[in-house]
Amino acid sequence: MKLIPTLITSTFLILAFTTISQAAPVKGTITYKGTVPEPVVTKTGKYKKVCGATFTDESLLVEKNGVQNVVAWLSGKDAKKKLKGKPGTFTLDQKKCRYEPHVTVMSKGSELKILTSDPINHNIHTYSFDNDPINIMFTPGQDHVQEFEEPEPVKVECDLHGWMKAWVFVTPNNYYSLSTVGGSFEIPDVPKGKYTLNFWHEKLGEMSQKIVVGDEPLEINVEFPDLNPKVSQKK
């Protein structure tokens, strides 16, 4: 009778080890090659009591060449077979006349709960190709929930305050990451297989490359080219 628990325990350990060995993280650093332009600073005018006197553009945030707010996600045949999406609920707040967070990443079928923490009116106006648009006036304390069904980047703007901009990036599955301050990203627990690793940034554009994921962590470092490359002149 004492052998049975031992056998069960041994079997569990083998299964656990097998499960762990079938997945590995994909991680790395995303950098920018060029000179970072000075961000645009907008005066908020009559809204300064709520919004602050100025707003600094957030479309390109770079620290020590590392790029923040780059979306990394996996696609390809193996992705369709092995990577499943699990819809969730995410929050976008209108606070001090800016959208928080600036970039939201979610898998298709997820819901976005839009809040407004400001004592003034705002507007949510989305621009996309495949998802239903939103164009709603928000009074203080109002909220709205919107579901996004199709993978694509969705631009968000406020028609009342032109400097307010954000992005909602909808992915085909849950295997994605948003780069942090300094440009690092990590997609954990990726099953073995061949994938396309995609990168998207609102200002720098898109890049992709083929990868093969095995048992060991896979490190991929990428560099976005200069937005304003210097053209050499022949004499």
* In a shared domain, residues 197 and 165: no
pLDDT band at 6 (very low <50, low <70, confident <90, very high): very low
Q: What is the CATH number of the domain that holds 158?
A: 2.60.40.420
Residue 10 counted as domain residue: no
Residue 232 counted as domain residue: no
Residue 235 counted as domain residue: no
Q: Which residue has the higher pLDDT, 11 or 23?
A: 23
Mean pLDDT of 126-132: 97
The one-letter amino acid at 187: I
Could you tell me the residue range of the domain that residue 165 belongs to?
Answer: 86-171
Give the model's pLDDT for residue 231: 54
CB contact at 8 A, 21 and 27: no
* CA gap 118, 99 in Å, rounded: 11
Q: What is the CATH number of the domain that holds 202?
A: 2.60.40.10
pLDDT band at 18 (very low <50, low <70, confident <90, very high): very low
* In a shared domain, residues 97 and 154: yes
Under DSSP, the state recorded for 46 is: G
Residue 231 counted as domain residue: no
CB within 8 Å of 1: residues ≥ 6 apart:
none
| Residues forming a β-bridge with 200 | 71, 206
Collapsed DSSP state (helix, strand, coil) of residue 106: strand
CB within 8 Å of 18: residues ≥ 6 apart:
none
* In a shared domain, residues 162 and 109: yes
Collapsed DSSP state (helix, strand, coil) of residue 233: coil
For the question of whether the overall pTM of this predicted structure is more than 0.75, the answer is yes
* In a shared domain, residues 188 and 123: no
Q: What is the pLDDT of residues 48-63, one digit of tens each?
A: 999 999 999 999 999 9
Under DSSP, the state recorded for 8 is: H
Q: What is the pLDDT of residues 82-114, one digit of tens each?
A: 887 789 999 999 999 999 999 999 999 999 999
H helical segments located in 105-156: none
Give the model's pLDDT for residue 83: 86
Residue 96 counted as domain residue: yes
Give the model's pLDDT for residue 228: 80
Residue 196 counted as domain residue: yes
Boundary-marking domain end, from 171, 191, 212: 171
Give the model's pLDDT for residue 161: 96
* In a shared domain, residues 68 and 91: no
CB contact at 8 A, 115 and 140: no
Give the chain's domain count. Answer: 2
